[in-house]
Amino acid sequence: MSTIGVIGAGKWGEALAFAMSEKNEVMITSRTPREWPTFKSLDEVLQCRYLIITVPAQQIAQWLKENFIYDGQKILVAAKGIEASSGRFLNDIYADYVPKENLAFLSGPSFAIEVKQKLPTALVINSDSEETAREFASFFPSFIRTYTSSDVIGAEITGAYKNVIAIAAGICEGLHLGHNAAASLISRGLVEMHRFGKAYGAKEDTFLGLSGAGDLFLTASSSMSRNYRVGLGLAAGKTKEAVCEEIGEVSEGIGTAYALHEIALERGIYLPIAAEVYAILEGKSPRQSLKDLIER
């Protein structure tokens, strides 16, 4: 039995702590105390050899700078996104603090509520180190099927990009455009995600598997997804600020949409869906965006 520290007690952090506690001793910490049998201080949790960190992409650089001291820990990153202010991927941010062989990144279709219900789930542990990936994979309970992969950048891109497409899918649903439009949007979103990934050397198989198509189909087709709910709110004419306040949770797709906008401009990558999501977040009419997408 291993001792695992979970940092971040939002819905996903609590779900992972719940799942891991089936085979391991789990400590959990967050800024806000939770009713968890082994809720500990951050200092105590950081002493664990194995850590799962769910701190959001837009906050992690500052959090690491203020809180983290490397002491040989192995880390499973369980957040998804691209830093809006710099365009950096999570693996680049963490690499300033932790050797890459001690880093792994979690990907795949997974709603927290279903994990807590012990419903069958399949996930991918992505790492430059096969040993680290297999170690983290071994900690998961029997109702979660784990695969391992070395395509860290592919998992990063799919995990971040699918949230932007999920916002677009929520807008599509909010405008009552129908199932034909939704299927077209998601499939073209996968093509767009793949185009972006090719620019970074991501592997083809990643986009067709659990990390890519699997996570995209889940996140872009259900109101259980907070990014999908962001799209529903935008379609109703609400501002991004009002939508975020209403949801009350971090929606990584918003920050990622801003990051993709800057990267696309810098690198000349054609990302029409992401571009329109960015424009809508900036106040463009969703119906005008729809018209522009169809007529492009």
Averaged pLDDT score across all residues of the chain: 94
pLDDT at site 250:
78
Query: Which tens digit of pLDDT belongs to each residue from 159-188?
Result: 999 999 999 999 999 999 999 999 999 999
Cα–Cα nearest to 219, from 251, 257, 242, 259: 251
**Lowest model confidence (mean pLDDT) among 7-16, 45-54, 183-192, 197-206:** 7-16
Does residue 281 contact residue 260 with C-beta atoms inside 8 Å?
A: no
pLDDT at 1 over 80: no
Query: Which tens digit of pLDDT belongs to each residue from 78-135?
Result: 999 999 999 999 999 999 999 999 999 999 999 999 999 999 999 999 999 999 999 9
Other residues' Cβ atoms within 10 Å of the Cβ of residue 24: 17
pLDDT at 150 over 70: yes
Beta-carbon-side half-sphere exposure of residue 57 (alpha carbons within 13 Å): 30
pLDDT at site 34:
66
Does residue 11 contact residue 56 with C-beta atoms inside 8 Å?
A: no
Query: Which tens digit of pLDDT belongs to each residue from 211-234?
Result: 999 999 999 999 999 999 999 999
Q: What is the mean pLDDT of residues 235-245?
A: 93
pLDDT tier at 288, thresholds 50, 70, 90: very high
Q: What is the mean pLDDT of residues 153-158?
A: 97
What are the angstrom distances between the C-alpha of 101 and each of 91, 104, 130, 164?
11, 8, 9, 29
pTM comes to 0.94
pLDDT at site 35:
67
Cα–Cα nearest to 187, from 221, 225, 153: 221
The amino acid at residue 15 is: A
More confident residue, 32 or 266: 266
Percent of residues, the chain, with pLDDT higher than 90: 91
pLDDT tier at 38, thresholds 50, 70, 90: confident
**Rounded Cα gap, residues 269 and 291, in angstroms:** 21
Q: What is the mean pLDDT of residues 19-30?
A: 94
Percent of residues, the chain, with pLDDT higher than 70: 99
**Rounded Cα gap, residues 277 and 254, in angstroms:** 9
pLDDT at 253 over 70: yes
pLDDT at site 31:
81
pLDDT at 249 over 90: no
DSSP annotation of 70 reads -
List the structure tokens of 201.
Answer: 């050397």
Q: What is the mean pLDDT of residues 264-291?
A: 94
Give the list of residues 6+ apart from residue 211 with CB closer than 8 angstroms, or none: 107, 108, 124, 126, 149, 151, 154, 155, 158, 159
Helical spans, DSSP H, in 144-178:
152-174
Return the active site residues.
162
pLDDT at site 154:
98
Instruction: For residue 75, give the H/E element and its range.
Output: strand 74-77
Query: Which tens digit of pLDDT belongs to each residue from 65-82?
Result: 999 999 999 999 999 999
